Structure 1
């Protein structure tokens, strides 16, 4: 009779899940900027956790989990970017004028602040290696040595990519500041109907919108499939007071802003629906991955914005 998997595997699995759970927001900050999308970034994070658990049997017990998870996320994001034929990183010479002090000078701090405040989508305009280095250094505050190990570069090469990436990012931000902001369009009829039914707490009406093979994705929770199972999604929300939905736009995509406090100018999280033949085919609910909305440049649909979320 088989003795089953070693008990240590269960302990290691629990440890990985705990570390990964704590790292999810940080992993997302990296992956979202690497992919140029908060949604694609979250897809990479979820895939990273699945791949990490699959790789558990081959993991050396001495392997530090944090860099290991970042390496999986980095490699997965690169696979996806390459499959989309994103331009390759350009060769770069080493630079010696990038500091890595424990207390950076004011110029260094300004560079980091600019990177943190830069829209997620703009990072996609950087060559891939520059993008990774700038995100890891200026957004996540990793050391040059840690970045070099993760990206398999020398420290001098990291400095060079960082210097050029920062300069290019300043150019991108300057050009973006000269362009007029695009006004978001009004909510589609389908999303407006969904929001209205939800705010009226018409759960049966919402269930009639579900396709027979509808799917529901909620972060690390198991995927729900089918109208009967996904219909329980509304049963759960029926027990929660005060949730209010507003049509919105994010990354050029129509989404739904979810407010738990209607006096708060920013939503707590977002939902995203896919439709097929007038019925909902996919619901992505980011209630359990709220960092997605935290990194998002979200705009309420015009009618919703002018009506004060009423």
Structure 2
């Protein structure tokens, strides 16, 4: 879409919101890999657009919004990584030659395919700047110049990080990742799943804490049991879905299937509990791209609706 400047603040906000709808999946592919987590990646995406809307009125009108959003997302991700004390410690050394993006060769194509097929969590094993450069170049196919502008680097520095990052990623992928063992669900999640699959909405509402909060992408935050109970009302009026307990990135989540014959879930839910009651619901129904790269592990005995059912 066009990013021509507009003199109207309202038009500028509308332009940003329209671009957000188009850019969210691509921005998430970047943020998830930088963070090494599809859940934390979506948190960065959400925060990126909130910060962008807050700063938009002060932005020069000729600023390209797409590149600006990537810079906000990149900087926010780095802030969060620093808070976890994850830092890139390697200095830049002389770069190997990087193939001209205008004249790709089979080796270049192979490196890009390797990056695209690398599990999200494994990117966390790269130093941060190498990680960002490899993702932007090999996963999102940005030019060296675009990457340099986003990361505030020279093109030669981008080439150096790209060469080193590709070599390291190849070594990482040569080592088989440890597959997490299936873990049984907690009693609380097992109860939630059983009630949901029975469509016992009153039973689910009884699990809500008085101060429960619900987040659904860009929809307004719902807070309090009376308001959040409407969440189950929506499901009560829609076609039945099936849910199952699962684990993702060390978190206990709930996989949701809308299609009876599907093997892969349609999206996820994530709950937090306080004193045996639900204090927080994060519903990813409206940001389904989050599950695309998710390394999901179903709990023992759980099976998708279209697969073999547990005995």
Quickly name the TM-score band, shorter chain normalised.
Answer: over 0.9
Please tell me whether the aligned partners of residues 180 and 297 of structure 2 are also in contact (alpha carbons under 8 angstroms): no
The separation in 2 between residues aligned to 1:49 and 1:202, in whole angstroms, is 36
Alignment match of 2:259 (pick from 247, 258, 261):
261
The separation in 2 between residues aligned to 1:299 and 1:308, in whole angstroms, is 16
Q: Secondary structure at the match of 2:95?
A: coil
Going from structure 1 to structure 2, the CA distance change for 1:176 and 1:45 (only over 3 Å counts) comes to: same
Please tell me whether the aligned partners of residues 214 and 282 of structure 1 are also in contact (alpha carbons under 8 angstroms): yes
User: CA offset at residue 309 of structure 1?
Assistant: 5.3
**Is 1:172–2:172 an aligned residue pair?**
yes
Alignment match of 2:239 (pick from 233, 241, 262):
241
User: CA offset at residue 154 of structure 1?
Assistant: 1.2
The separation in 1 between residues aligned to 2:55 and 2:7, in whole angstroms, is 16
The separation in 2 between residues aligned to 1:85 and 1:183, in whole angstroms, is 27
**Is 1:56–2:56 an aligned residue pair?**
yes
Counterpart position of 2:272: 274
Counterpart position of 1:286: 284
**Is 1:36–2:52 an aligned residue pair?**
no
User: CA offset at residue 7 of structure 1?
Assistant: 7.7
Please tell me whether the aligned partners of residues 96 and 163 of structure 2 are also in contact (alpha carbons under 8 angstroms): no
The separation in 2 between residues aligned to 1:33 and 1:106, in whole angstroms, is 24
The separation in 2 between residues aligned to 1:218 and 1:113, in whole angstroms, is 33
Q: Secondary structure at the match of 2:63?
A: coil
The separation in 2 between residues aligned to 1:103 and 1:275, in whole angstroms, is 53
User: CA offset at residue 262 of structure 1?
Assistant: 2.2
Please tell me whether the aligned partners of residues 94 and 159 of structure 1 are also in contact (alpha carbons under 8 angstroms): no
User: CA offset at residue 96 of structure 1?
Assistant: 4.1
Please tell me whether the aligned partners of residues 244 and 260 of structure 1 are also in contact (alpha carbons under 8 angstroms): yes
User: CA offset at residue 94 of structure 1?
Assistant: 3.7
Structure 1: 5+ residue runs without aligned partners?
1-5
Q: Secondary structure at the match of 1:287?
A: coil
Return the TM-score normalized by structure 2.
0.94
The separation in 1 between residues aligned to 2:99 and 2:89, in whole angstroms, is 23
Counterpart position of 2:123: 123
User: CA offset at residue 203 of structure 1?
Assistant: 0.3
Question: How many pairs does the alignment contain?
Answer: 303
Structure 2: 5+ residue runs without aligned partners?
1-5
Counterpart position of 1:3: none
Please tell me whether the aligned partners of residues 94 and 156 of structure 1 are also in contact (alpha carbons under 8 angstroms): no
Please tell me whether the aligned partners of residues 129 and 161 of structure 1 are also in contact (alpha carbons under 8 angstroms): yes
Alignment match of 2:228 (pick from 208, 227, 230):
230
Please tell me whether the aligned partners of residues 126 and 165 of structure 2 are also in contact (alpha carbons under 8 angstroms): yes
The separation in 1 between residues aligned to 2:7 and 2:93, in whole angstroms, is 49
User: CA offset at residue 44 of structure 1?
Assistant: 0.5
Deviations 1:13-56 (A, max 9, x none): 00000001110001100011111111111001000001000001
Please tell me whether the aligned partners of residues 182 and 299 of structure 2 are also in contact (alpha carbons under 8 angstroms): yes
Return the TM-score normalized by structure 1.
0.94
Counterpart position of 1:148: 148
